[in-house]
Amino acid sequence: MAGTTRTERDSMGELAVPAEALWGAQTQRAVENFPISGWRMPRGFLRALGLIKAAAAEANAGLGLLDAKRGEAIRDAALKVAAGEFDAEFPVDVFQTGSGTSSNMNANEVIAHVAHSLGGMAVHPNDHVNLGQSSNDVVPTAIQVGAVLAVRERLLPALEHLREAIGRRAHEHLGTVKTGRTHLMDAMPLTLGQELFAWASQIGHAEERLKETERRLHGLPLGGTAIGTGINAHPRFAERACADLARFSGAPFKPAANPFEGIAAQDGAVELSGQLNGLAVVLMKISNDLRWMNSGPLAGLGEIELPALQPGSSIMPGKVNPVIPEAVAMVAAQVMGMHATISVAGQSGNFQLNVMLPVIAHNLLWAIELSANAARLLADRAIAGFTVREDRLQEALARNPILVTALNPLIGYEKAAAIAKKAYASGRPILDVAVEETGLNREVLARALDPLALTKGGIVEGLAGGG
């Protein structure tokens, strides 16, 4: 239709671009070349691109390579991109050229267009916005910057929130004794607080691992340009640009010790993905424990009741399901799959360039976002609100034949096993059978078999002299 397009030109010639679009010919070619998924690059990646372009403009202006007015216009336009004002102007599919050149040029073209509007002067996407840069160093840098900021601002606070929520419930139930389970079979008792503190410890260790890995992403290959040599970049560009990027972002970014590595490989992204995979294992473990503890309410374990959030069946009235742990477990499965994708993509470094950068960016940043959202959901809509069915806990404890383990030091394993089997077969309390079979004082046996005492470990004092 007349008036709906304009003509743009790049090194390959002229191309029609939507009249109102802020992008140019190279972005348009990518839109037409890669109609694959409809998935655009994630917000965290676009934010990082904007911050990088702003820092580059500051550095180049400070080094005298850009005039002050043009540098300021590019910086301001790039910061608007970082803030999300022009996300609709980034239509390039995730599945594009492996270097991410299309997304880098998309940013260059949009920023050049906006900077021209802000400053009233000509701004070239390559000569000015991309000055001292290449897609080959910008896109790996954007992956690192986006990941670091997402971990710091979204994931770590969410995990701290989850850990503290679990810790609060653990303190509430330090004295709530329940049957332990190994192999899904009855085992020695523990307190619900002990069980929950184990979850909190898992989350805490996941936080520590993420922080350690995040630290290794601070060194950026920005300034290495095409392959790491820094061709066409000022010798001080990397230092100045990383310092400005640190100022804009609040993270301690610095030039990579070896920019060749940062361009040729994505080992840091693979490592971070591995930590997210480990966190997914933790979240799935906690979610499945909650599902088992909530199971029933009559034919399952029925130890807790999770908050009733929605009807659980379209055909069975009154059914309520553990929807939050189920959703979190699905997130965990998705993150594990993303780790497989990132691992394969990380192997695709051919000589001086990895050629699966966009798919690494997509999966890594979405895995962080999904994990953060799932952690908060688990804390607020499952952990914080579950109630404990103490009657069911006590019923199971009274009939748990494994309590006889406490008598091993006195009567030996074989005799204890016989008592356990008899108590299980007869359905009688273990204490009654132990009195019959050992002839020991009932009060001493009751003390030895007290579930709360058994949660403290060790050998029950006074047992040997009680008979």
Identified catalytic residue from 124, 183, 348, 362: 183
- Residue 183 is a catalytic residue: yes
Spell 284-298 as b/e; 16+ CB within 10 A means b: bebbbbbbbbbeeee
- In angstroms, the CA 44 to CA 54 distance is 15
- In angstroms, the CA 443 to CA 190 distance is 22
Looking up tokens 């966009």 gives 358
The three-point CA angle 111-226-131 to 5° equals: 35
Listed in sequence order, the residues at least 6 apart from 332 whose beta carbon sits closer than 8 Å to its beta carbon are: 280, 281, 283, 284, 287, 374
Instruction: Report residue 288: phi and psi, to 5°.
Output: -70, -35
Identified catalytic residue from 37, 171, 205, 313: 313
- Residue 128 is a catalytic residue: no
DSSP state of 151: I
231 by DSSP, 3-state: which? coil
Tell me the residue type at 379: A
Looking up tokens 């069911």 gives 392
Q: CA of 84: how far to CAs of 47, 50, 280, in Å?
A: 7, 9, 29
Residues catalogued as catalytic: 183, 313
